[in-house]
Structure 1
């Protein structure tokens, strides 16, 4: 009899425990605390102008037009502009004849049902101020570029700028051969035998040879 009571008690305990577990499982799970994400503040013209972009006038040379456009696009990336903001901010910088050109061009785009977007402004801007003829001139200059009286640093800067307009595929080896082949003779005779085929390394080697051959004072005066 005692054994039967103990078994009944144990069974009741198991049933009670099972009921408690079921009740616990039915309790609502507490939601994790909400993380408050601050609202993203829209980019303003003040944010753009804080980077001191230059005004653009129609008197700019093709190189200056290219540099202005590159500078604007760099700022756009930094402050994460939308396409609409790029259009508004860039046209804000157009002054005098460039502004008049854009007013006329914008009307033409509307008349021919062309979207007035940043991408289309960029295309029209390049057609006007950095046309294909300017690109071809810089490509031709790149192919005939020689260091001449330039310091290695000035030669590197011109080389890298003009190489952007070369229309053919450029390998690292070809780039190095073109660079070293256009160095002045007193540098080239030391650089070519090294057979350097990594452009940054080649540039540093040329600068080192220049300093050894000419001395720091003469390099700085060049």
Structure 2
């Protein structure tokens, strides 16, 4: 009987589920901190790097907002606190809302348009094939609908 009590919940399919430490997984990738930058593209690069780490850690929407916002410091953290305080909806802030608000605050829409135009006008010219490929990949981020399938690429 003692054996049965000891084995209860173990090996019979009733074992408690293992809880994965997603925050630990997120932090293992050494996600960058963002304070402020005079170059708006650095803000966009930060968001891309954070998004990669969140995907690797397999975070859900709520965790994405929570973990990404913990990587903000200084004036950007002040912006985030103000944004959260001003958020009047009953639902929590989604990852899509976070990204949109972050980009709206730190990456001017005009700059995104310029990068998209640069992508659409991209020519190999004197660049090597590798340099051209790298530039194409870098700028395609600003025109995702132009490269969302093989035929368009």
Corresponding residue for residue 137 of structure 1: 114
Unaligned runs of 5+ in 1: 1-32, 176-222
Look at both structures and tell me which one has the larger radius of gyration over its CA atoms: 1
Matched, 1:72 2:50: yes
**2:101 maps to 1:124:** yes
Rate the CA distance shift 1:168–1:91 in 2: closer, same or farther, 3 A.
Answer: closer
Aligned to 1:194: none
Greater length-normalized contact order (CA 8 Å, ≥ 6 residues apart): 2
Distance in 1 separating the partners of 2:54 and 2:145:
29
Identify the match of residue 77 of structure 2 among 76, 99, 105.
99
1:98-177 equivalences under 5 Å are 98-110=76-88, 115-166=92-143, 169=146, 172=150, 175=153
- Contact in 2 for aligned 1:87/1:121 (Cα 8 Å): yes
Task: Answer yes or no: is the 8 Å Cα contact 1:53–1:72 preserved in 2.
Answer: yes
Instruction: Tell me the number of residue pairs that the alignment of Structure 1 and Structure 2 aligns.
Output: 142
Structure 2 residues without counterparts, runs of 5 or longer:
1-10
SS in 2 for 1:52: coil
